[in-house]
A and B are shown apart, each in its own frame.
Chain A
Amino acid sequence: MEVVMIIVIGCLFAGATYLMLSKSLLRIIIGTGLLSHGAHLLLLTMGGLKKGAPPLLDVQAEHYVDPVPQALILTAIVISFGVTAFLLVLAYRSYQEIGTDNIEQMRGKEDHD
């Protein structure tokens, strides 16, 4: 099971890298979304995918799945959610102010010699 997950995560990372290297801001942000999906799935996979009950103590079971990676993922999800929301608003603002969503054109300073 882990092998399948790792291949899928690898594809997510490849897609994310490809998108993050493109010119359009929106594609880059979609890339960061895919990247965080990949990272979160990787956390889940690396914690182990052995079969067990969900980590609830009122479910009587021999084995439970590891609760630590789930807590880590939940933390990482809200953090990346906050950052992505900020990033999207920032992209919207820079589209309004600079008038382009092409990262190649976002260069140059006011003060040049």
Chain B
Amino acid sequence: MTNAVIFPIAIPLTTAVILMFCVKSLKAQKMISLVSAGVLIAAGAWLVRLVDHEGMQKLDVGNWPAPFGITLVSDMLSALLVLTTSMIALACLLYSFFTIDSKQASMYYYVFFQFLIVGVNGAFTTGDIFNLFVFYEVMLMSSYALLVHGGTKIQLQETMKYMVINVFSSALFVIAVGYLYAVTGTLNMAHLAVRISQADNTAVLTVICLLFLIVFGLKGALFPFYVWMPGAYSAPPSAVLALFGGLLTKVGVYSILRTFSLIFRQDVGYTHTILAWLAIATVVFGVIGAVAYRDMRQIAIYNIVAAVGVMAFGISLMTEESMEGTIFYLLQDMVMKTALFFIVGAIAYVAGTNQLGRFSGLLGSYPLLSWTVFLSALALSGIPPFSGFIGKALIIRAAFEKGQLLFALVVLLSSLLVLYSVMKIFIQSCWGEARGYEQKRVAPLYVPIVALLSLAVLYGVGAEFVRPYIAQAAATLADPSMYIESVLKE
């Protein structure tokens, strides 16, 4: 059944609509969201299995053939991202149950939550560039609402800045789509790829490509477009922040990955060199921020920036191995960043502050929480048995093979500084004499944290098991003709 592609979008959408009618009963909202998140994971897993057995899935919405209607396409990459998104959604939902107070939660919180998942899953699945814009807006509008939800001073002022930046980048997206339509006369991604490979006027296409790089760089926090992020992400409650940190920037990274591997292949030498330089600058600025701050949240936020840089560098190499590494790294980073924000949120809840140095000695009273910090430091920096290793190893090997020694060394060095930055949280908050915090009940928070961390550990240890799926995803990215054929056939 080809309709499998639409379930990851339809399930949260239906849930959101149903939830609107029962905002009065918080209990009903929680139950419905929980069931829907479970169903969503099942749908994602089913989609991965289907893509694995029967090849790429596509759905021509309304039976209009490919370039004329909107086509939803699920290749292995989209399917894996959708599955990861639904797992993160379930974890964030559980975390929200325990941390969002009932007054705030009854103001349509779970409705916005579901709409955010609609936007993210839609952006991962669509095969049409304007439809991508629409799903971006679905995602962004829900993120505005979630960011300002609660209405404290800091949330109001940071949402204002976040919104203005995103309104600007959305206008830029519309402009870029307008230019692309003028040059090629189509909006379907596969058809665009065909038209661009036949085009003789490649200079204007390169300009459009760079415009898209700016648009997606603004969404995905690439250097020099990441400056909105440290402020905006310091405002919302931890559950929302974990959702943002796990999903939003990664949609930008996915869009760069999709457009640079499928559509804009006309002048790879020029565009991908620019991407490589931006990526390395992103890594450098990310780790500088991560090392500089004593605020746990800011450390985690700059870790996102550094990881986005590593992924963008993997994309810029454009070999099958680097694609594989990027996908490995992307999936584990979504899970790990969400887990890191959960942990930071739990520590801040116990200590009453995000500032390191005002409290210490958590290890005595909260051993489990402390060891999760330690574990996440190892996983984030890429210590071998854990999840971050294989992705970075593949990216660095691909970089060495292409002779980009300097960039590879920067990525390696960045791992060290990422390790230092998260270990700083561990050492300053968990070691030492017990002071500056109170005994609070955090047991329920362990459920999502431990679930995500064990997922990340399993992902690292069971890399042999996930590797065939990821190799399949990388193969379609390295050779877009498969994608084009399966979308445009009939």
Binding site for B on A (CB under 8 A): 20, 25, 28, 32, 35-36, 38-40, 42-43, 45-48, 68-69, 72, 75-76, 79-80, 82-83, 86-87, 90-91, 93-94, 97-98, 103, 106-107, 109-111, 113
Report the Cα distance A82→B151, complex, angstroms: 19
Judged by a CB distance under 8 angstroms, whether B181 is at the interface is: yes
Contacts of B177 in A (CB 8 A): 43, 72
Q: Given the complex, which residues of A lie within 8 Å of B357, measured CB to CB?
A: 113
Known pairs A20-B168, A69-B181; A90 contacts B174 (CB<8 A):
no
Would you give the 0/1 interface string for B45-62, flagging 1 where the beta carbon is closer than 8 Å to chain A?
000000000000000000
Give the distance in Å from the alpha carbon of A97 to the alpha carbon of B148 in the complex: 13
A39–B177 Cα distance when bound, in Å, is 10
Query: Do A68 and B168 touch (CB < 8 A)?
Result: no
- Tell whether B349 is near chain A: CB-to-CB under 8 Å: no
Which of B141, B153, B175, B182 touches A86 (beta carbons < 8 Å)? Answer: B141
Are the C-beta atoms of B141 and A40 separated by less than 8 Å?
A: no
User: A93 — which chain B residues lie within 8 A by C-beta?
Assistant: 151, 156
Chain B residues contacting A46 (CB-CB under 8 Å) are 178-179, 181-182
Task: Report the Cα distance A36→B137, complex, angstroms.
Answer: 14
Choose one: A47, A86, A111, A113; the contact of B181 (CB below 8 Å): A47
A84 to B188, CA, bound (A): 28
Contact A35 B154, CB 8 Å, known A87-B163, A109-B234, A113-B355: no
List of A residues within 8 angstroms of B125 by Cβ: none
Flag whether B405 is at the interface (Cβ < 8 A).
no
**Residues of the B chain whose Cβ atoms lie less than 8 Å from the Cβ of A47:** 178, 181-182
Query: Complex Cα distance A106/B235, Å?
Result: 13
What are 30 contact pairs spanning A and B, CB under 8 A?
A25-B160, A28-B164, A32-B168, A39-B174, A40-B174, A42-B174, A43-B177, A43-B181, A45-B178, A46-B179, A47-B182, A48-B182, A68-B187, A79-B134, A83-B144, A83-B163, A83-B170, A86-B145, A86-B163, A87-B163, A90-B159, A90-B160, A90-B163, A93-B156, A97-B151, A97-B153, A111-B354, A111-B355, A113-B295, A113-B357
Tell me, in angstroms, the Cα distance from A86 to B171 when the chains sit together.
Answer: 16
In the assembly, what is the distance between CA of A14 and CA of B343, in Å?
A: 45
Is B353 at the interface (CB under 8 A from chain A)? yes
Do B167 and A32 have beta carbons less than 8 Å apart? yes
Would B130 and A72 count as touching, CB distance under 8 A? yes
A94, B353: Cα distance in complex, Å: 25
- Interface pair B141/A82, CB less than 8 Å apart: yes
Cβ–Cβ contact A106 & B161, under 8 A: yes
Residues of B within 8 A of A68 (CB): 181, 187
Q: Which of B129-149 contact A (CB under 8 A)?
A: 130, 133-134, 137, 141, 144-145, 148
| Residue of A39, A98, A113 touching B153 (CB-CB under 8 A) | A98
> In the complex, are the beta carbons of A98 and B178 less than 8 A apart?
no
CB of A84 to closest CB in B, whole Å: 8
Question: Are A43 and B153 touching (Cβ within 8 A)?
Answer: no
A71 to B163 Cα, complex, angstroms:
25
Residue B397 is within 8 A (CB to CB) of chain A in the complex? no
